Amino acid sequence: MDLAWPGHAPSFRSGLTAMSLELFEGVRDLFVDDDGAMRLSLDGIAYGNLAHVVLYQMLNPNLEFPATRRPLARLLKVRGLDWQVRFMYGRLLGKNKHIEACPNGGGLVLFTIYNHAVIHSLLPVYQKLTASGNSPVAIFSDPGMRRAVPGSLNGLSYASFYKLADEREVNRKWPVLRNQLAAYSATLKTRLKKLAGEVEIDADRIVAFLNPFLKQSLRDAQAIKRILGRCRPRYLVMGSDANKLGRLFSMMARQSGIRTVVVQHGATVDPYGYVPLYADRAAVWGEISKAWYLQHGVPESQLVITGNPQLDAVRVQSSIPAHSGSRLILATNPLSREVNERLLEAAGSVAREHGLSLKVRPHPSEDPTFYEQFIQREAADAELCTGSLDELIRPGDILVTCNSTIGIDALLRGALLVVIEVPGVGAPIPYKRYGVAESIALAELDALIADVLKGAVERDEAKTATFLQDYLGKLDGASATRIATLLTP
């Protein structure tokens, strides 16, 4: 089996081969003039700060754009129309309860990302706020997002606040923003090409994409303006303000003097998922995460160590030696299709060789359809698992991944962690430095599994305990309580 890593060929670029801080910073500054002024601004809202989020997704070779495999969804995403469809869906089907104010001086909990970790970071906080009488209102990106969040939450789709009068206001404002983009388009194309270097990109297509994206952002702003005006929240809490809707909510809430808090939802792997921070505060897991934010320019005054609310109900389990009944669990990452195919092929081969059952766990941001089709096409003896990690991972299992948060889940649940080193992909979670994972090249996986099953490789419990403390902070079941206190001091 060929274990060389393949190249990448996403739709908007064809030669960038490594995720880099330079790319992130370059995209972030695309709409900033030499004198520091922000292009694409209207009514005090820097729409350029929304555009650079999606442009980074387009240009980063390790982020597939669009991520979905469904033809219609891909077409809408590439043309910049996906948010329009979600908005109209929420406008037509979202139920507006005509909330005039957040009850008991409460606030808003924002669910905008179809991501298991984000949802389950916010749910314990919502529940703690409700139990303490702070009566939060949940705001969803669309009705589908509402269905994705378990439980009967008091909430509604943000687009349901939008009125016909708002569309007239958007049509009045749109020529101003459109003309700003037109006046800046030549400079923007030059900057895009300079950022790409020798790599060929379709700058015209990228700029054309921004027209529907920006007009829809005006609609989003009108809906958020109504929400903040009618609900009059004391606080806004979200899983990230590094996505378009979360960032817009964060910017507008701060304009209105509303306390804003982002809850760290995952490992600080890629800056684009976490910084710049637009909220007042970030509730971070532990000392390692805090140091990462400081390194990436977030002031210490905006950082509060709270622990991870996703783990409030989890207790650390000790490991047991791997054995013939152990499972091999491959936890994928949102890398290129070719990279994940190579990981699947290698894991399948190793599992067959050593008589292990293979479980495949897609990253929450990935479309599992690709993995279902791969397993069927290759007749692979593997099971796709998208349910609870408590049900998936048990002591004695061997979990294989790249540098991902699920490695922490494996350590918490008594599994042996194996980290595959992928060229061009960094290692922001210090598993190797703490000595809590076997960090290897893909070609070494078979030999390592053989040693594990012979009892020659076991995890170090003392090192594991130190790592978990430094990375996750207190594992005392009170992280959600600390965040709720931060919101309602």
Q: In sequence order, what DSSP letters do the residues of 246-297 get, joined into one string?
A: HHHHHHHHHHTT-EEEEEP-S---SGGGT-S--SSEEEE-SHHHHHHHHHTT
Which of these ranges, 76-85, 176-185, 462-471, has the smallest mean pLDDT? 76-85
Rounded to the nearest integer, the mean pLDDT of the chain is 85
Q: Could you tell me the two tokens for 399?
A: 């979990």
Q: Is the model more confident about 72 or about 489?
A: 489
User: What are the start-end ranges of the E strands in 116-162?
Assistant: 137-140, 155-157
Band (pLDDT 50/70/90 cuts) for residue 111 is very high
Average pLDDT over residues 42-47: 93
Counts of helices then strands in the chain (DSSP H, E): 18, 15
Q: Could you tell me the two tokens for 302?
A: 């905006």
Task: State yes or no: pLDDT of 110 exceeds 90.
Answer: yes
Please provide residue 329's backbone torsions phi and psi, each rounded to the nearest 5 degrees. -110, 120
Convert the pLDDT of each residue in 436-461 to its tens digit: 999 999 999 999 999 999 989 888 99
Angstrom distance (rounded) from CA 74 to CA 193 = 24
Task: State yes or no: pLDDT of 414 exceeds 80.
Answer: yes
Convert the pLDDT of each residue in 304-362 to its tens digit: 999 999 999 888 898 888 776 789 999 998 888 888 899 999 999 999 999 999 999 99
Cβ density class 36-71: b for 16+ within 10 Å, e for less? eeebbebeebbbbbbbbbbbbbbbbbbbbbbbbeee
CA dihedral 336, 341, 343, 345 (to 10 degrees): -170
Across the beta sheet with 235-238, the strand order is 155-157, 137-140, 108-111, 235-238, 259-263, 281-284, 303-305
Q: pTM to 2 decimals?
A: 0.82
Cβ density class 360-371: b for 16+ within 10 Å, e for less? bbbbbbbbbebb
Domains along the sequence of the chain with CATH? 21-308 (no CATH), 327-472 (3.40.50.2000)
The HSE-up count of residue 311 (CA atoms within 13 Å, CB side) is 27
Q: Are 321 and 300 in contact (CB under 8 A)?
A: no
Task: State yes or no: pLDDT of 472 exceeds 90.
Answer: yes
120 contacts: CB under 8 Å, gap ≥ 6: 309, 310
Convert the pLDDT of each residue in 200-243 to its tens digit: 778 888 888 899 999 999 999 999 999 999 889 999 999 999 88
Chain centroid to CA 243: 8
Task: State yes or no: pLDDT of 123 exceeds 90.
Answer: yes
Angstrom distance (rounded) from CA 405 to CA 399 = 12
Coarse DSSP helix, strand, coil percentages of the chain, rounded to the nearest 5 percent: 50, 10, 40
Convert the pLDDT of each residue in 52-85 to its tens digit: 888 877 776 555 544 555 666 666 665 666 666 6
pLDDT at 19: 41
98 contacts: CB under 8 Å, gap ≥ 6: none
